[in-house]
Chains A and B, each alone.
Chain A
Amino acid sequence: MWERILNKKIYFISLALALFVTGFSLPAFAFPEYTSRQKALKLAGVLDHGYFKSIKISSVFVKNRGKDDYYLQAILDDGSSRKWLINRIREWAQTDELILSKNRALVFPTPESTDFGVLDKNKFYRIILNSTAFVKTFGKHDILDGKSLVLGIRRFRILQAEDSKYMKTDKFGDRYRYVLELENGSREFFTYSDAFLFLQRTALLEKAPENVSVLRKTFKVRELKKIPLQIEDELREIRRFGIEVVFDGPILMSPDRFPFQVVEQKMRDPETGRYKAQFFLQIIFPNSEKIREIPGFNNHEYLRYVEIDTDVEHQKRVILSAMVNPNALDLPPYIEVTDRNSVVVNFFSSTDQSLIQPPDLLASHSAGELPRSVFTPDQLETEFETHYMEAVGLIRTAQNEMNMSVKIETYFKALDTLKKAALTAEFDIQIAQALNQRDILLLTMPKLIIRNVQMTILALQLDDLNIKPDPVLTVKLLKQLNHAENYASTQDQRQKIASLQSILR
C-alpha cells in the first residue's frame, strides 16, 4: 500500500489536485499587496497614532520591495515592528482591527485599487443629521445605472445588534455601519466606504434645490388602461398602441427614470413538458408601489399577459411586464409622463421589413469606421443638422395633421428642407439619409395626393352639383397632381391621376 501511496504518479496527481483546489478557492480578484510610493507615504501619515488591535501605533514607515512596490512597516507601542502589506491593512480596516485616530475611518472605496480615503466620521454625522434629502445614485448593472433619485430622509441610525445587517458585509467585505430610513419607506444600509463616497459626491442635501422634486412618498398604482392602435408614421406604416399606468398622484420624474429591459425566461411547455424560451418586456417604475390587486390584460396587440407586479429584488419598484415575441419587437418602447397622474408606455408595430434592413449604401461597405448617426458626435449643430432636424420636425407635424391639404403642403415643405439638407451634407451618411427620407416621402405622396383630390372633388359634389370649383383650389390641386404624376409608382396610380386631372380641367 505504501508503495502505491508513494508512487510518483499518485503524488503528482494529488499535488496537482491540491493546487487546483487551492487556486479555485482563491478569490478571482485579489486586492493588491503593494502600492505606489506616493500612496504609501500618504497612507503612513494617515495610520500614524492610530490603533492596531488596541495597541497604539508609534510610527509607520514606508518600505519598498521593487521599484514600484511599496508597503508599510509599523512600530507599535509594545515595541513590536510589523510588515504591513496593503491588502492586510484593508482587511484590518474592514474588521475594525485597525482604527485611525480622531474618530476617522480608513476606506478603500475602489475595489482592486489601493486608492484610499479617510472618512471623518464626526463631519459625516454632522452633515447627515442636518440633511433632509438623499441623492440615491444607482450602481452599475442596475437597470437605472447612473441615474439618481432625490429621496426625503426620515431618520439616520447607526446599526445596532438587532438590525438585520449588523456586522454583515457587502460584496467587497466592508461592514454595514449605518442605515438611512427614507420617507418613501425604503432603507439604505451603508458602509464607511459608502459614507465616504456620499460625502464625495454630495449625496446628502441639507436643503434640496427649488427645481428638484424630493420624493417623499411612493407612487401607488391605481389601474392599467389600454391605448388602442393608431397610425404613428404613415410614411413607413408604423402603428402605435400603448398601456397607460395610472398612479395616485402626479409623477415627479422625467421619462428617462422609467427604463425598460427584455428578460428571457425558460418556461416549461405544459403540453410537451419541454423548456421553451419566452421573452418578457419589462418597464421599471422606481419609487412605486402596488398596494392592491391591479387587473392586467391577456392580450393587447402583440403583447400577451400584461400585468404589473412588485419587484421582489428592489425596494419600492414595480414592473410592468408583458410577454412578447422578440421578432415582433422592431422598435423599443417609448415612455411619456402625462399630466393625468400617469405614465404611458407606447409600443410600435410595423409590417415594413425594410425598416430593419441595412441600406444598400456603398459608403457603408468601406473598411473604415463610419458615423452611425447623421449627427456629428461633437454636438455642434451644422448647417445640415439644422435643415435635417427641421425636415424631420415638418414630417412629424404633417403626420399629426388632420387636414389632408395642410398635411400635403407640409410634406412639400419637408421635401424642400430635405433638399437643402442634402446640399449641405458633409458625410455620406448624411446625404444618404436625406435622400432616403426624400424617397420615402416621394413614394407616399402620390397616394396621399390622389386621396386628397378625390375627397375634395367628392366634398364639392356633395355640397352643390352646380357650383363652380374655386380656380385657386383647382390650380393647387392640379399642381399636386402634377407632382404625383412625376412620382407615381404604379399603373393604377397613373390612371387615377389622369382621370382626376381631366375632371379638374
Chain B
Amino acid sequence: MKQFFLLLVLSLLFLFPTAGLSLSVSSGHMLDRFELIPDEKTPFLTFKGFFDPGQFPHIQIFPRNSKTETSVLLPNTLINSILLPEREVTSFSEEGIMEKMLLEEKITKKENGEIEFQVTLTISSTEEHILVLDTEKSDSRHLTFALQKPVKKETTNAQEQQKVESIIIDLAPPAISPREEMLLHPVTALMSYRRVVQLNLTILNASPHPDSAQRLAVLLDRQQKRTIEKRIGMKLKIVNISSVREQTILPKTKIYFHANLMREALILAQILPGEQVIVPMPQSRISKLATDVEIYVGKNFE
C-alpha cells in the first residue's frame, strides 16, 4: 500500500510541472488550404493545416452589418503563404453559398516585445447564413465552420398577428359545439359516456417527501384495492407513479378526475388518509385519456 502511495505521489510530482509547462508553451494555428463542402442543408467550410484544439474557444465569430457577411477572428494564427497565397478568394461555384472570402493576416509586436499574430476571415455568402464553429469536425489538422441557414424567426409580423388573433379567440366567449354542449351538461353527458370497467390511476408526487407517491401506491394497491374496487364497481389499475416537475409542492393531495368519474374520485378521497381536494381535470390536460384519475400527493400525506 505504502509503495502505491509513493508511486502516486511521484507520478503527481512528475505530472504537475509537465502540465504547467505544456500550458505555458505558446502555440497556435497554421492555415494551409481550405475546402468548401457543399450540402443542401448545411455547407461546411474546412481549413486544413495545423491547429491547437485547446485554442478553439478563443475563436471569435461576429456577423457584419450585412446578414450575408461574417467575420472570424483567429487568434495565434498564421497563413501558409506558399500553400495559400491568395488573400481574396472569389473562385467559388456559382450554385454554392459562398461568394467571397477575404483573409487578412496581422502580425504585431507588443510593448513587452511579444509577437502577436492573428488572421481575420471575412466570409460573404449569396444568402443569409449563420457561421458556427463545428468542434466535432475540427481537430489538430482541421478547422471546420458550418454555414447554417438561419431558422426563420419564430415571430414574424404575420405570425405575431396570428398569435394576437388566437389570443383574442381564446379570450372571447367560447363557441361551444353541439357535441361539447352535450358533454358539458351532466344529464346529456350521461347519455354519451360509457361507464368503464377499469379505473386507470396515476399517482404523482407533489410533496417534499420523495417517496410519498410510492407509499400511496402501496397503500392503494396492497391494502385498499379490494375495498376500492368493491365500492367503485370497477377494477383499479395504477398505470403510473412518478414525480411532478417544476418544484410543485401542494399543501393538500389533489385528485383530478375526467368527466363522468367524479363519483369514483370521491370514493378514493374517502378512502385515502388525510384531507383531499377533488377537482375536474383542467381543459389543458383533458386529452390525456390514458388515465381516468390523477392523484397529486400533497405534503399533508403522511
- Report which A residues bind B (CB closer than 8 A): 27-29, 37, 41, 59, 61-64, 73, 111-112, 135, 140-141, 143, 145-148, 150, 171-172, 201-202, 209, 211-212, 232-233, 236, 238, 254, 256, 259-266, 277, 279, 326-327, 329-334, 348, 355-359, 361, 364-365, 369-375, 377, 379, 381, 385, 388-389, 392-393, 395-396, 429, 432-433, 437
Residue contacts A-B, CB under 8 angstroms, 7 given: A37-B135, A146-B284, A209-B168, A256-B283, A261-B280, A348-B187, A357-B195
Q: Determine which of B132, B164, B188 lies in contact with A202 in the assembled complex, contact meaning CB atoms within 8 Å.
A: B164
Report yes or no: A263 in contact with B277, Cβ–Cβ below 8 A: yes
Report yes or no: A359 in contact with B194, Cβ–Cβ below 8 A: yes
Minimum C-beta distance from A331 to chain B (A): 4
Q: Determine which of A150, A171, A238, A332 lies in contact with B262 in the assembled complex, contact meaning CB atoms within 8 Å.
A: A332
Cα separation A329 to B260 with both chains bound (whole Å): 12
Minimum C-beta distance from B182 to chain A (A): 6
**Chain B residue, CB-CB nearest to A172:** B247
Report yes or no: A264 in contact with B276, Cβ–Cβ below 8 A: yes
Within 8 A of A (CB), among B258-302: 258, 260, 262-263, 266-267, 269-270, 274-280, 282-284, 289-290, 296
Report yes or no: A372 in contact with B194, Cβ–Cβ below 8 A: yes
Report yes or no: A361 in contact with B188, Cβ–Cβ below 8 A: no
Cα separation A58 to B289 with both chains bound (whole Å): 53
Report yes or no: A260 in contact with B280, Cβ–Cβ below 8 A: yes
Minimum C-beta distance from A62 to chain B (A): 6
Contact with A along B177-197 (1 / 0, CB 8 A): 011001111111011111111
Cα separation A381 to B177 with both chains bound (whole Å): 11
* Known contacts A61-B57, A238-B187, A396-B188; is-contact A202 B163 (Cβ 8 Å): yes
Report yes or no: A141 in contact with B192, Cβ–Cβ below 8 A: no
- Most interface-central of B135, B171, B248, B270 (chain A CB within 10 A): B171
* Known contacts A135-B171, A279-B266; is-contact A392 B186 (Cβ 8 Å): no
Report yes or no: A358 in contact with B195, Cβ–Cβ below 8 A: yes
Report B-chain residues with C-beta under 8 Å of the C-beta of A365: 197
Report yes or no: B188 in contact with A433, Cβ–Cβ below 8 A: no
Report A-chain residues with C-beta under 8 Å of the C-beta of B167: 135, 201-202
Report yes or no: B245 in contact with A111, Cβ–Cβ below 8 A: yes
Minimum C-beta distance from B151 to chain A (A): 11
Report yes or no: A233 in contact with B208, Cβ–Cβ below 8 A: no
**Chain A residue, CB-CB nearest to B279:** A261
Cα separation A148 to B183 with both chains bound (whole Å): 22
Taking A171-B247, A396-B188 as known contacts, 10 extra A-B pairs with beta carbons closer than 8 A to each other, sorted by chain A number, are A29-B246, A59-B60, A111-B247, A140-B248, A212-B168, A264-B276, A329-B266, A333-B186, A356-B195, A396-B187
Report yes or no: B194 in contact with A433, Cβ–Cβ below 8 A: yes
Cα separation A401 to B205 with both chains bound (whole Å): 50
Cα separation A263 to B172 with both chains bound (whole Å): 30
* Known contacts A146-B283, A209-B172, A372-B194; is-contact A262 B278 (Cβ 8 Å): yes
Report B-chain residues with C-beta under 8 Å of the C-beta of A236: 187, 190
Report A-chain residues with C-beta under 8 Å of the C-beta of B262: 262, 329, 331-332
* Known contacts A111-B246, A371-B194; is-contact A145 B57 (Cβ 8 Å): no
Report yes or no: A211 in contact with B168, Cβ–Cβ below 8 A: yes
Report B-chain residues with C-beta under 8 Å of the C-beta of A331: 186-187, 190, 262
Report yes or no: B192 in contact with A261, Cβ–Cβ below 8 A: no
Report yes or no: A429 in contact with B194, Cβ–Cβ below 8 A: yes
Contact residues on B (Cβ < 8 Å of other chain), bracket: 35 or more
* Known contacts A59-B60, A365-B197, A372-B289; is-contact A389 B182 (Cβ 8 Å): yes
Cα separation A331 to B257 with both chains bound (whole Å): 13
Judge whether B113 is part of the interface by a CB distance below 8 angstroms: no
Report yes or no: B193 in contact with A41, Cβ–Cβ below 8 A: no
* Known contacts A201-B167, A385-B179, A392-B188; is-contact A361 B194 (Cβ 8 Å): yes
**Chain B residue, CB-CB nearest to A63:** B57
Cα separation A80 to B234 with both chains bound (whole Å): 67
Q: Determine which of A59, A141, A375 lies in contact with B250 in the assembled complex, contact meaning CB atoms within 8 Å.
A: A141
Report B-chain residues with C-beta under 8 Å of the C-beta of A143: 279
**Chain B residue, CB-CB nearest to A359:** B195
Judge whether B85 is part of the interface by a CB distance below 8 angstroms: no
**Chain B residue, CB-CB nearest to A260:** B280
Minimum C-beta distance from B59 to chain A (A): 9
Within 8 A of A (CB), among B66-112: none
Cα separation A279 to B262 with both chains bound (whole Å): 13
Report yes or no: A28 in contact with B196, Cβ–Cβ below 8 A: no
Q: Determine which of B188, B248, B289 lies in contact with A141 in the assembled complex, contact meaning CB atoms within 8 Å.
A: B248
Report A-chain residues with C-beta under 8 Å of the C-beta of B186: 331-334, 348
Minimum C-beta distance from B289 to chain A (A): 7
Report yes or no: A150 in contact with B171, Cβ–Cβ below 8 A: yes
- Of all A-B residue pairs in the complex, the 5 with the closest CB atoms, nearest first, are A61-B57, A145-B282, A146-B284, A331-B186, A358-B195
**Chain A residue, CB-CB nearest to B272:** A264
Report yes or no: B163 in contact with A264, Cβ–Cβ below 8 A: no
Cα separation A34 to B258 with both chains bound (whole Å): 39
Judge whether B150 is part of the interface by a CB distance below 8 angstroms: no
Report yes or no: B233 in contact with A358, Cβ–Cβ below 8 A: yes
Report yes or no: A29 in contact with B182, Cβ–Cβ below 8 A: no
Judge whether B173 is part of the interface by a CB distance below 8 angstroms: yes
Minimum C-beta distance from A437 to chain B (A): 6
Report yes or no: B269 in contact with A262, Cβ–Cβ below 8 A: yes
- Most interface-central of B58, B191, B252, B283 (chain A CB within 10 A): B191
Report A-chain residues with C-beta under 8 Å of the C-beta of B266: 262, 279, 326-327, 329
